[in-house]
């Protein structure tokens, strides 16, 4: 999409010098690689070094950013929140291509499925009995939706998503390919040399505005529900076990795992590859740092690291001490000798 | 499903007071949230605190459990093994809905596939040449079964399972959505600036009563077989590499990984996110604790933790010492000063 | 496939005693389990102990290997590189079965898709508008290929692979089942109590001779491309985030994760379950050891371990010291007492 700087400034809440309003922009790009007729963004002083040589035609920047040197041809788009203005510029310059929606004749939809308006169902998708699809929801090819599933409005399910029976999904939810929602949780009782399966008759509830990454698994509750709160975002290859209660606006990064029956407070961040043992409560806004393994409750607002995870400052102090430990052993020997000498 | 307490007691091997036999129960629920006409379970003293206020109408309990105070309306179902009685109650009250089985006209099944009785094949599933499906096996939609695959009786394959060629699966095996059985193992030889692929002409053997979680991957053997012993249970997003020999009744929790050519003894537990290096033997009944990384053989019955994993008591002692290490450095300084003083 | 030793020697660049040329070989097997009419390999002295009792009829070995005792009936195939000769023997004895290729009538291919010669498209696969499939490429069942996707020659896409729009794939690329290529990266800006999605309008570029494992996820770039260099091999359940630049001949083992915007140099090895934080550079030929978590740049050729990962020798020294730390506390007490005595 080609836009003039004037159009871009308008759409992205920015100001430009009037004499530059007709400059043409056709793409958004990172500051290191942007070229002519592209717009970029300078959101942090650490990228200032790239400004001098950028080939971009325009750059979103906050007026408070102190800029000493910039290419002559570069036009600044002054704005309050350069990151968000740039994000809107990406939307405006690279609009999502909309295709005609239809119900593929090669899909299999049970007779009593309730279908809203303006829905897309891709080829080779199946929807079982008593399920319900809201208006404007787009289901790609090869998606399998079980029985008694409810999906809200304006959702997107990419190819190969599987939704087991009785799942309830809100509106504006995006689920990426290969995600498996509401498979049985992992629970057994060992008796007489055999693992007896704990039946899983619960379900999964996903609130509005949730995004779920590719190949992520969210298990159904054993008796009740596994729930994901509104606005939470879950990355790829994440494992969420049975009966977890995930709050609102939670961020769960790739390859993280939450065992089961945990409570994850609103606004919590699970950084990449972190993991939570079962029956653990994570307080609101807590940050579980990358690759950490949490074994017990975590206080709201705290930042923890390590295995088992502890307050990050405590862990860093321990790791700093550990790095000097081999040396300490040598110093200890010296001390012993000095004492032996004194004792003689 | 609605059952009287009498029926429930009978089906779940429990005893009730005769005058309560007509109380109606329609669901099973956890003790914290159970309401009227629901049955719950008290399997451990740590949940006793929830008993006083429970709204449940009935509760499985062992006669030996000492209970001081309970709601007046609560009926106890006395039994030897409350966990198992409750598990059976869940089955009885929430029976799996059985649907008519059929071979979907939208599936593609090679001509020489051998099919047992009472099989279900879902829409858009494919079964290639020379494969064999046992009686009562249920294959959901969009399952892909390769050539020369043998699947036993009474198995369940959920949507989007992929079984590569030559896999052999026993009876009563459940495989959840997105699991990939018998893809090539990861093996290369580096020569002349190129990674040459080691051909994988082996297969995967899965014994009876195995359950495999969503999006789990089990690679084929390079020349021989990767095997999973009877009764073993594997959670979601687990990676089992080529040539592993997994014993009977092994538990492998979510996101664990076993590199290749390992032997995992009967009854071993790999807790969540644990990992085993290649060519390692894990002795029977050993427990690999959560997030541990095992680099060498582990003795039967041992419990190991950490990276690299060691006896858990040793590791805990080390971690306790580490937590006091920053303090030790300070004390060490004090000692040095005291010695310097003595030396003067 | 049955071959005489003479044929095998010829095809695998090995020499045999002339009088043994007619011995028949019908399979390749590991030295521990090989039986009559099978060929095995002795590539390292550590397997010498298995040679004495092997039932194999033939064994690839380097002439420099000093062998003192071997079964009378065992014929040696002398060669320069036993591993590669054996690898070729596996190919020769267990050739991949070739099936007739066809475009399934149960696939859905958009009208303007460009199709090369000798292509296979399995049942229930979909190919969207403007995509292009090169000669000799084999697409299995239930593969979903988006819009404007380009796939080179002689590629193999196993069942249930999903390729999002605009992906570019070279030639001789193998992608295993359940792999998801070019789903959106994980990026949000938090404003007004809401995580705003960073639009992902970039793509994924995969060069020639790449292999990608089952259920692995490679996210598209936000604005530019996520790239995988020629000859790189990626195992199962790997997560590669947006904007990563992976070099040539890189090895990424199972369950590893690379956050985003990282540069992974040529020949780097990410061992099993390792992880890289975002915006990190990994120098050429560096080895990230199993389960390590890398938080900062890594020099070319270095080998790092731990969380956060450091030079492996440094870490081993620290771990060795840590294992003696509980003891040090005791010794420290003794020293304190000796000093107190001196002070009295």
Using a 10 angstrom Cβ sphere, with 0-12 exposed, 13-18 middle and 19 or more buried, the burial of residue A8 is buried
Q: Tell me: the pLDDT tens digits for B176-196?
A: 999 999 999 999 999 999 999
B135 found inside a domain: no
- Is residue B97's pLDDT more than 90? no
Q: Tell me: the pLDDT tens digits for C99-114?
A: 889 999 999 999 999 9
Where among A93, A113, A130 does a domain terminate? A93
Report the pLDDT value the prediction gives residue B170, as an integer from 0 to 100.
98
Minimum mean pLDDT among A201-210, B219-228, C47-56, C201-210: which range? C47-56
Do residue B172 and residue B300 come from a single domain?
yes
- Is residue B98's pLDDT more than 90? no
A316 found inside a domain: no
CB atoms under 10 Å from CB of A340, counted, come to: 10
- Is residue C202's pLDDT more than 90? yes
- Is residue B99's pLDDT more than 90? no
> What is the Cα gyration radius of chain A?
27
Report the chain B residue with the minimal C-alpha distance to residue A191.
B84
Do residue B304 and residue B165 come from a single domain?
yes
Report the pLDDT value the prediction gives residue A289, as an integer from 0 to 100.
98
C126 contacts in A (CB within 8 Å)?
A: 122-124, 141-142, 159
Residue A54 and residue A70: Cα distance in Å, rounded? 8
Count of CB contacts below 8 A, B vs C? Answer: 170
Do residue B268 and residue B191 come from a single domain?
yes
Report the pLDDT value the prediction gives residue A304, as an integer from 0 to 100.
98
| CB contact at 8 A, A186 and A244 | no
Q: Which helix (H) or strand (E) is B322 found in, with range? A: helix B312-323
Local confidence band at B114 (pLDDT 50, 70, 90 cut-offs): very high
Q: What percent of chain A has pLDDT over 90?
A: 93
- Is residue C254's pLDDT more than 90? yes
Do residue C69 and residue C186 come from a single domain?
no
Across A262-284, average pLDDT: 98
Do residue B66 and residue B167 come from a single domain?
no
Across A276-282, average pLDDT: 97
Chain B contact for A126, CB < 8 A? yes
Look-up of token digits 């003894």: B265
Do residue B184 and residue B61 come from a single domain?
no
Report the pLDDT value the prediction gives residue A204, as an integer from 0 to 100.
98
Report the pLDDT value the prediction gives residue A254, as an integer from 0 to 100.
98
Local confidence band at B344 (pLDDT 50, 70, 90 cut-offs): confident
Q: Which helix (H) or strand (E) is C287 found in, with range? A: strand C287-288
Identify which of C181, C251, C164, C180 has the alpha carbon closest to the alpha carbon of residue C215.
Answer: C180
Show the beta-strand stretches assigned E in C185-302.
188-191, 194-197, 203-206, 211-212, 217-219, 225-228, 233-234, 239-240, 245-246, 251-252, 257-258, 263-264, 269-270, 275-276, 281-282, 287-288, 293-294
A315 found inside a domain: no
Across C162-180, average pLDDT: 98
Structural domain boundaries enclosing A262? 161-308
Disruptive mutation site among A195, A294, A313 for chain B (greatest number of B CBs within 10 Å): A195
Q: What percent of chain B has pLDDT over 70?
A: 100
C230 found inside a domain: yes
Across A115-133, average pLDDT: 98
Report the pLDDT value the prediction gives residue A241, as an integer from 0 to 100.
98
C156 found inside a domain: no
Q: Tell me: the pLDDT tens digits for A189-211?
A: 999 999 999 999 999 999 999 99
Q: What percent of chain B has pLDDT over 90?
A: 93
Provide the mean pLDDT of chain C: 96
Q: Tell me: the pLDDT tens digits for C129-169?
A: 999 999 999 999 999 999 999 999 999 999 999 999 999 99
Report the pLDDT value the prediction gives residue C22, as an integer from 0 to 100.
92
The dihedral sign for the CA sequence A323, A329, A334, A335: positive
- The answer to whether A223 contacts B87, with C-beta atoms less than 8 Å apart, is no
Report the chain B residue with the minimal C-alpha distance to residue C142.
B142
- Is residue C328's pLDDT more than 90? yes
> What CATH number is given to the structural domain containing B9?
3.40.1390.10
Report the pLDDT value the prediction gives residue A28, as an integer from 0 to 100.
97
A325 contacts in B (CB within 8 Å)?
A: 325
Where among A45, A64, A93 does a domain terminate? A93
- Is residue C62's pLDDT more than 90? yes
Residue C180 and residue C178: Cα distance in Å, rounded? 6
* Interstrand relation of B156-157 and B138-139 (parallel, antiparallel or unpaired): parallel
Q: What percent of chain C has pLDDT over 70?
A: 100
Local confidence band at A96 (pLDDT 50, 70, 90 cut-offs): confident
Q: Tell me: the pLDDT tens digits for B6-29?
A: 999 999 999 998 888 999 999 999
| CB contact at 8 A, A42 and A82 | yes
> What CATH number is given to the structural domain containing B255?
2.160.10.10
Across C328-334, average pLDDT: 94
How distant is the Cα of B318 from the closest Cα of chain C, in angstroms? Answer: 6
Catalytic one among B91, B195, B200, B242? Answer: B242
Report the pLDDT value the prediction gives residue B162, as an integer from 0 to 100.
98
Q: What are the beta bridge partners of residue B191? A: B194
Report the pLDDT value the prediction gives residue A68, as an integer from 0 to 100.
85
The answer to whether the bond into A235 is cis (omega within 30° of 0) is no
A338 found inside a domain: no
Minimum mean pLDDT among A14-28, A130-144, C143-157: which range? A14-28
- Is residue C39's pLDDT more than 90? yes
C209 contacts in B (CB within 8 Å)?
A: 194
Report the pLDDT value the prediction gives residue B198, as an integer from 0 to 100.
97
- Is residue A88's pLDDT more than 90? yes
* Interstrand relation of B144-145 and B126-127 (parallel, antiparallel or unpaired): parallel
C150 found inside a domain: no
| CB contact at 8 A, B288 and B304 | yes
Do residue B284 and residue B194 come from a single domain?
yes
Where among A93, A125, A142 does a domain terminate? A93
HSE of B80, CA atoms in CB hemisphere, 13 A: 2
Residue C258 and residue C224: Cα distance in Å, rounded? 17
**Per the structure block, which two tokens stand in for C64?**
């420099």
Do residue C168 and residue C255 come from a single domain?
yes
Chain B contact for A290, CB < 8 A? no
Do residue B176 and residue B300 come from a single domain?
yes
A144 contacts in B (CB within 8 Å)?
A: 140-142, 159-160, 177
Do residue B172 and residue B289 come from a single domain?
yes
**Residues 6+ positions from B170 with CB-CB distance below 8 Å:** B152, B206, B207, B208, B209, B210, B230
Q: What are the beta bridge partners of residue B211? A: B174, B233
- Is residue B96's pLDDT more than 90? no
Residues in chain B: 344
Identify which of A240, A195, A197 has the alpha carbon closest to the alpha carbon of residue A221.
Answer: A240
HSE of A66, CA atoms in CB hemisphere, 13 A: 0
- Is residue B277's pLDDT more than 90? yes
Across A99-114, average pLDDT: 95
Local confidence band at A26 (pLDDT 50, 70, 90 cut-offs): very high
Residue C93 and residue B199: Cα distance in Å, rounded? 11
Do residue A298 and residue A177 come from a single domain?
yes
How distant is the Cα of C159 from the closest Cα of chain B, in angstroms? Answer: 7
Report the pLDDT value the prediction gives residue C321, as an integer from 0 to 100.
97
Residue B203 and residue B183: Cα distance in Å, rounded? 9
Do residue A84 and residue A183 come from a single domain?
no
Report the chain B residue with the minimal C-alpha distance to residue A332.
B332
- The answer to whether C178 contacts B162, with C-beta atoms less than 8 Å apart, is yes
C171 found inside a domain: yes
What three-state secondary structure class fits C315? helix
- The answer to whether B318 contacts C325, with C-beta atoms less than 8 Å apart, is yes
Q: Confirm whether C195 is a catalytic residue.
A: no
Q: Per the structure, how many domains does chain A have? A: 2
- The answer to whether C195 contacts A251, with C-beta atoms less than 8 Å apart, is yes
- Is residue A89's pLDDT more than 90? yes
Residue B157 and residue B176: Cα distance in Å, rounded? 6
Report the pLDDT value the prediction gives residue A18, as an integer from 0 to 100.
85
| CB contact at 8 A, B11 and B89 | yes
């Amino acid at each position: 999409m080609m836009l003039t700087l004037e159009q871009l400034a308008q759409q992205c809440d920015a100001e430009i010098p009037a004499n530059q309003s007709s400059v043409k922009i056709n793409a958004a790009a990172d500051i290191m690689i942007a070229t002519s007729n592209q717009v970029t963004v300078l959101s942090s002083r650490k990228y200032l070094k790239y400004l001098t040589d950028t080939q971009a035609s325009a750059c979103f920047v906050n007026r408070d950013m102190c800029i000493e040197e910039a290419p002559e041809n570069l036009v600044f788009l002054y704005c309050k929140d350069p990151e968000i203005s740039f994000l809107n510029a990406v939307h405006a310059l690279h609009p999502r291509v909309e295709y005609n929606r239809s119900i593929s004749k090669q899909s299999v939809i049970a007779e009593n499925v309730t279908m809203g308006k303006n829905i897309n169902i891709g080829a080779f998708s199946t929807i079982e009995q008593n399920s319900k699809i809201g208006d404007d929801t787009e289901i790609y090819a090869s998606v399998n939706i079980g029985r008694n599933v409810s999906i809200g409005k304006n959702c997107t399910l990419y190819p190969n998503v599987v939704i087991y029976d009785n799942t309830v999904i809100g509106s504006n939810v995006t689920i990426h390919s290969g995600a498996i929602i509401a498979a049985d949780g992992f629970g057994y009782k060992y008796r007489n040399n055999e693992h007896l399966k704990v039946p899983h008759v619960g379900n999964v509830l996903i609130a509005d505005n949730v995004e779920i990454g590719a190949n992520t698994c969210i298990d159904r509750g054993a008796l009740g529900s596994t729930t994901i709160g509104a606005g939470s975002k879950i990355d790829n290859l994440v494992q969420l076990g049975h009966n977890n209660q995930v709050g609102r606006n939670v961020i769960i990064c790739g390859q993280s795992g939450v065992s089961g029956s945990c409570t994850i407070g609103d606004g919590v961040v699970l950084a990449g590859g972190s993991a939570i043992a079962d029956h653990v409560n994570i307080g609101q806004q807590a940050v579980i740092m990358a690759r950490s393994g949490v074994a017990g409750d975590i206080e709201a607002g705290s930042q923890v690291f390590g295995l088992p995870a502890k307050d990050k400052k405590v862990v860093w102090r321990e790791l700093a001490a550990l790095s000097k430990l081999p040396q300490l052993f040598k110093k200890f020997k010296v001390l012993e000798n000095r004492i032996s000498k004194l004792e003689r």
